[in-house]
Amino acid sequence: MADKIIVNSEKAPEMFGFFEEICKIPHGSENETAIADYIVRFAAERSLECYRDEANNVLIRKSATAGREGEESLLLQGHTDMVCEKDGNVKHDFLTDPIKLFVENGFLKAKGTTLGADDGVAVAAMLAILDGAVDSHPPIECLFTAGEEIGMIGAGKFDFSKVQSRRMINIDSEKEGIAVVGCAGGVRSELTLPIKRTDKKGDCLRIKLGGLAGGHSGEDINKGRINANRLMGSFLTELSIKMECSISAVCGVSKDNALPIECVAEIAVPDFFEALYELENIAKIVSKEISEDDNGFFCTVEHCELDSVLDEESNDKFMIALNNTPCGVIEMSRDVEGLVEWSANLGVVETGEENVKFTFLTRSGIDERIDYSMHALDRFSKALGGETGHFGRYTGWSYAKASPIREAYIAAYKKLFGKEASCEIIHAGLECGLIRANIPDMDIISIGPDIIALHSPRERLNIASAERLWELLEYMLEN
């Protein structure tokens, strides 16, 4: 058992002990060999049945405590990899250096780096349970997956026929008391249009739209925030109603899973000052319409030098694609109030010499919606003489109307803390979706402690909340 060094927890000493142990082993995404070795060694030392695959996923089985042998097995699951982010001035090599922990105001933090409570808490809790920290439990399986943060790589490669359980607790949520009971699937699509160029005529100018709030392309898609790429589409459309307007390039490069906060266009117009006048008017109207979140919005216009612009046909097709592909909320759920059921985000627009590329991330909890979006984009691009490729598709986890594990969680939470736990479905991806796709009759719930600012060097774990997570797991296993 690990020494208690940093966190002096009375309620969950074993879990924090293992958390501190794994912080000594670098375990960023794509660097999970050492932590997988550690977990395999841990299992061997305790004579636990253990299976490890080439993707560094590890599955460990522990038999029931005396008297509970006949019960159904329960799967616990979390990922071993963490996001590696550090402050600019901090010297830290994520391949070799341990995470340096400290406690401040009830929070466990790391010195200048991400903490890895996402998802080290799950790893530590599972190790503590396997180590015998819970007195009574049914047969248990613990699945440690690799590469979650870079596209659920590990879970995507795991052979789920190894899993015997048909009920599971995923420990990869970050809000105490709010269990996740469903999540969206998604796919990245790249639409490429060939373009032809011609000599430019008239004055050249560069328009920059920026200062928008951005955010997560799933969780923030229904907050009324503007997508900078799409906004550029309306600027250019409005301008082209007033005057001839030839695009040379549009560039709005974000991540496909983030709302773009700025976009730049280079165009040729008959007269710079007339265009400037019109663009100022358009910007004024936009400024009045934007939401509070986007109030940093700005539009700048300056002269630039251009050699070529798109020919008329390419220009038209570009504008059609920029303005008419799906972007934003497509459909809200009919069953769950406030839940986005289907959305798309035009995260990236890039213009090259010979083609222009649009990158979308489509999300939905319903697989058929994603199929539909893929077909629709295929047809759309074909009609414009282009093509679309689809990448990295992952399955959603649809809400189960009946779920004994969810009922057990709600009852346990109420019993222990005297409060109602809530359940939510998220418009983002979790490994639970992939697991359900492989084991359709798996009954799943996803829980976790309060983790603030995850994926950033300010990531911190609420210690009391993690202790309550431990109590909850203990109670659920014992009962």
Site residues (vs Zn ion, CB under 5 A): 118-119, 172
Clarify whether 149 is annotated catalytic: no
E strands, 410-471, in order? 422-426, 443-446, 451-452, 460-462
What's the min distance (Å) between Cβ of 369 and Zn ion? 25
Q: Which is nearer to Zn ion, 39 or 263 (CB)?
A: 39
Query: What span, in angstroms and rounded, lies between the C-alpha atoms of 42 and 19?
Result: 14
What's the min distance (Å) between Cβ of 432 and Zn ion? 11
What's the min distance (Å) between Cβ of 169 and Zn ion? 14
Among the listed residues 407, 408, 389, 402, the one whose alpha carbon sits nearest the alpha carbon of residue 478: 408
Instruction: Find tokens 């990869």 and name the residue.
Output: 172
Clarify whether 148 is annotated catalytic: yes
**Is the separation of the CB atoms in 418 and 474 below 8 Å?**
no
What's the min distance (Å) between Cβ of 326 and Zn ion? 28
Pull the structure tokens for residue 319. Answer: 């504008």
Q: Which is nearer to Zn ion, 119 or 450 (CB)?
A: 119
**Is the separation of the CB atoms in 193 and 384 below 8 Å?**
yes
What's the min distance (Å) between Cβ of 89 and Zn ion? 26
Query: What span, in angstroms and rounded, lies between the C-alpha atoms of 337 and 353?
Result: 46
Q: Which is nearer to Zn ion, 18 or 342 (CB)?
A: 18
CB atoms within 10 A of CB 44: 10
DSSP state of 48: -
Q: Which is nearer to Zn ion, 235 or 394 (CB)?
A: 394
Q: Which is nearer to Zn ion, 81 or 131 (CB)?
A: 81
User: Which H/E stretch holds residue 263?
Assistant: strand 263-269
Q: Which among 81, 278, 294, 467 is annotated as catalytic?
A: 81
Ramachandran angles phi, psi of 263, nearest 5° = -150, 140
E strands, 163-257, in order? 167-170, 178-183, 185-194, 197-199, 203-210, 215-216, 246-253
What's the min distance (Å) between Cβ of 181 and Zn ion? 17
**Is the separation of the CB atoms in 215 and 225 below 8 Å?**
yes
- Distances in Å between the Cα of 417 and the Cα atoms of 32, 400, 468 are 36, 25, 9
Q: Which among 21, 32, 148, 450 is annotated as catalytic?
A: 148
Q: Which is nearer to Zn ion, 26 or 138 (CB)?
A: 26
Side chain identity at 11, as an amino acid letter?
Answer: K
Q: Which residues are catalytic?
A: 81, 148
